[in-house]
Amino acid sequence: MLRPMAIRLAVVIAATLAVAASSFAAPPAHRAVAPAFFSPTFLCSSPDEFDLSEYDPADFVSLRMVVGGDLGGYSRSCIRNEAGRFRGLDGNMSDTDAETGTAEINVEGKKVKVEGFKRWMERGDVGLNQRFAVTEAAYGPATGLFDGFYMNVTPE
């Protein structure tokens, strides 16, 4: 007969494994890619037209960034985790352009979280040797086009 402590431990381990397995599951099919009608120029206005100081920290805003550098698998997963999981932002990251080596990131959420994500991106380093740099950044009004953070990847 098992002791009550061993039973509790087995239940905790089983629950932990179930939560871990669900976090690695693929997203539902309806959230696999960004909407096809999305246009980055529609999302954000130019910095001259948008005054971020008029918004409270709890108001929703959007941010469009162009990022260059080491944007391989590990950097992309760190960006996805930082934006989607840790900060709770909605948006997408485009596939890396082969000619310019840049990718476009569009996020929207509370002003405080969006500004924090921008500061994190401007640090420019994740891991030991992955480096990237923000080359453009423009704020705009939130549109509500997204219901999560998406990574657009072109299949090979």
Q: How confident is the model at residue 62 (pLDDT cuts 50, 70, 90)?
A: very high
Given a cut of 60, is residue 155 above it in pLDDT?
yes
- From CA 73, how far away is CA 68, in angstroms rounded? 14
More confident residue, 34 or 137: 137
Instruction: Find out whether 114 and 63 touch, Cβ atoms under 8 Å.
Output: yes
Q: How does the average pLDDT of the chain come out, rounded?
A: 77
Q: Which helix (H) or strand (E) holds 118?
A: helix 111-123
The Cα 9–Cα 11 span in angstroms is 5
How far apart (Å, rounded) are the C-alpha atoms in residues 64 and 139? Answer: 6
The share of the chain scoring above pLDDT 90, in percent, equals 26
71 Cα distance to chain centroid: 14
Q: How many CB atoms lie within 10 A of CB 68?
A: 17
Q: What is the mean pLDDT of residues 96-111?
A: 90
The string of DSSP letters for 1-61 reads ---HHHHHHHHHHHHHHHHHHHHTSPPPGGGSS--TT--HHHH---TTT--GGGS-TTSEE
Residue 6 has pLDDT above 80, yes or no: no
31-40 pLDDT, tens digit per residue, is 334 443 344 4
**55: pLDDT strictly greater than 60:** yes
**Res 101: pLDDT:** 86
Phi, then psi, of 7 in degrees rounded to 5: -65, -45
Name the pLDDT band for 44 (thresholds 50, 70, 90). Answer: very low
pLDDT in the model for residue 123: 87
pLDDT confidence of 1, banded at 50, 70, 90? Answer: low
The pTM for the full model equals 0.67
